[in-house]
Structure 1
Amino acid sequence: MSGDMDYGKLPPEGEDHFHRLDAHLVATDTLMTTLDNIEETIEDKGMMVAYGAAGYGKTMSVNAALRKVAPDITYRLELRSGPTPRDIRHGLFHALGLPGEPPTRPIEFDTLLKDTLSETFRVLVCDEAQWMGRSSFEYWRHLWDDRHTNMAVIFAGGDDCYKVLKREPILASRIFIWQKLQRMPEDEVSATLPAFHSLWAGVDPKMIRGIDRAAAHGNFRNWTTITKHMLNGMKKKGLTEVNEDLVNWVYSKLGGV
């Protein structure tokens, strides 16, 4: 987060793009599906899981959807390194902007959080949810299950969060929507990139598909990295358009191409 006042809030749109690339948000099929699913989850006051491999746009899609439908009532946590229920308690304390010092006893802490989450409807977002184990997911269920709390919960994470939840029927049965984010099909890649960044506006779709097969593999984070290298290469080489030599130069920057 950029500062204490921003803790727990949705980040600015510009921070969604990898490498802080100056690019445009495009209404891809994935983004529109995420928007529909989040709207339904909020209406249901339920829990949703957006999961998939790294780079498929989970965080960007969730953030973009929430900026549209619930920007003022969304509170976001990003957890790292095997968080415990204690970490989630403290994360929620700061994300919700609660005053004073966090309670030292779990029972008092839980009472404070439940009372706060009962005051008004909120959307809680747990990003990087793949780091959580069973006890951490169970703690979210404990808060959500309380008959007084008033909230929807969105988990965004890698495949591991799906595996953990599916192993626990009591937890899995609480999830209202499961959304798996997958690689973008070639046709959608070639249609999306010119709208994503002006660099690709005049590039032959055949070249874009070739780059996708060789290096990007339908992964939007890969495409962001490739776009950044392309822009750097054009500046260094004094180019005004993408050509095969530049593409090969970018490949030299990437592993496994």
Structure 2
Amino acid sequence: MTAATYQYVDLPDASVVTTRALLRARENITDTVAARAMMCIHGGAGFGKTLAVNTCLRELEPGEDVRRVTFRARPTARAVRYELFAALGLPGAPPRRPSEFDRLLKAALAEKPRTLVVDEAQWLNGEAFEYFRYLWDDPATRLAIVFVGGEGCHTVLRREPMLSSRIFIWQHFTRLTPSEVLEVVPLFHPIWADADPADIAFADSRAAHGNFRNWARLTAHVRIGLARTGRPRVDTEVLRWAFSRLGTAA
């Protein structure tokens, strides 16, 4: 897998590691898409949710039409309509009247099976969630929806009983446990492959804390430290230097 898979940092030679959470996500997403259902993947920032979803969706049956929408603020139903119009690549100008807009979107979603990934779903409010439910509930649409969001996503969704009662699968992403860290980090990047397990545990306890995004940032700095010092493998001195760059007390 390319380094671009890991968000916010360019990390050559990084690999996607098949964690237990990713295996569960693969199974859950596959079942959700097959059922044309809705699911929610939620958890803290940097725990690997988006990475897992992107990896699993690439493994779906060839021809599965996957579209993504992302919201950074609390959108209205009108904003959701426009985002879907763009995501579906519909021609012409968006309709001005809500009723016409709704008919257009439902017609497009009825053309063939589609999977919609709604990222940063914790930003959605009741109006926006209700609009997704409205589209999914239409008997003509053949729509699977994967909501992906932070810790608040589960809470927000649960406040919408009409939608939450229709969620097929809930999956909560958590931090890697210390034992999982020792299993997966040596597979994550070559610099950790021959590292002392004690150094990996030290790095996790002081800087990464079972968070894959933290591990990606730490790995990028450790790579620089090894290249500049010419050292062949990770040691506590290089780790402490990397910690200092991350603002982490050694």
Which moves more between the two structures, 77-86 or 41-50? 77-86
Q: Secondary structure at the match of 1:61?
A: helix
Tell me if 1:56 matches 2:50.
no
CA distance in 2, matches of 1:39, 1:196: 24
Q: Aligned residues, how many?
A: 246
Shift of residue 235 of structure 1? 2.2
Shift of residue 67 of structure 1? 0.4
Tell me if 1:203 matches 2:192.
no
Change (3 A) 1:210 1:71: farther
Q: Which residue of 2 aligns with 1:17?
A: 6
CA RMSD of aligned residues (A): 1.4
Shift of residue 207 of structure 1? 1.1
Q: Which residue of 2 aligns with 1:217?
A: 209
Q: Which residue of 2 aligns with 1:33?
A: 24
Q: Which residue of 2 aligns with 1:171?
A: 163
Shift of residue 239 of structure 1? 2.5
Shift of residue 256 of structure 1? 4.5
Preserved contact between residue 48 and residue 213 of structure 2 (Cα < 8 Å):
yes
Shift of residue 176 of structure 1? 0.5
Residue of structure 1 aligned with 2:57, choices 52, 66, 81: 66
Preserved contact between residue 13 and residue 64 of structure 1 (Cα < 8 Å):
no
Shift of residue 236 of structure 1? 2.5
Residue 25 of structure 1 aligns with an amino acid whose one-letter code is V
Shift of residue 14 of structure 1? 4.2
Residue of structure 2 aligned with 1:232, choices 220, 224, 229: 224
CA-to-partner distance for each residue in 1:144-203, whole Å, 9 max, x for gaps?
011111110000001111111112211210100000000011111111112111010110
Q: Which runs of 4+ in 1 moved over 6 A?
A: none
Q: Which runs of 5 or more residues in structure 1 are unaligned?
A: 1-11
Which moves more between the two structures, 53-62 or 190-199? 190-199
Change (3 A) 1:246 1:71: farther
Preserved contact between residue 2 and residue 15 of structure 2 (Cα < 8 Å):
no
Tell me if 1:43 matches 2:26.
no
Residue 38 of structure 2 aligns with an amino acid whose one-letter code is M
CA distance in 2, matches of 1:256, 1:249: 10
Q: Which residue of 2 aligns with 1:133?
A: 125
Shift of residue 237 of structure 1? 2.5
Work out the percentage of aligned pairs sharing the same amino acid. Answer: 46
Residue 51 of structure 1 aligns with an amino acid whose one-letter code is H
Q: Which residue of 2 aligns with 1:91?
A: 83
What is the TM-score normalised by the length of structure 1? 0.92
Tell me if 1:150 matches 2:142.
yes
Q: Which residue of 1 aligns with 2:102?
A: 110
CA-to-partner distance for each residue in 1:59-102, whole Å, 9 max, x for gaps?
00011000001564111112112222222111111111111111
Q: Which residue of 2 aligns with 1:5?
A: none
CA-to-partner distance for each residue in 1:5-61, whole Å, 9 max, x for gaps?
xxxxxxx95432121322111111111100000011112111000000100011000
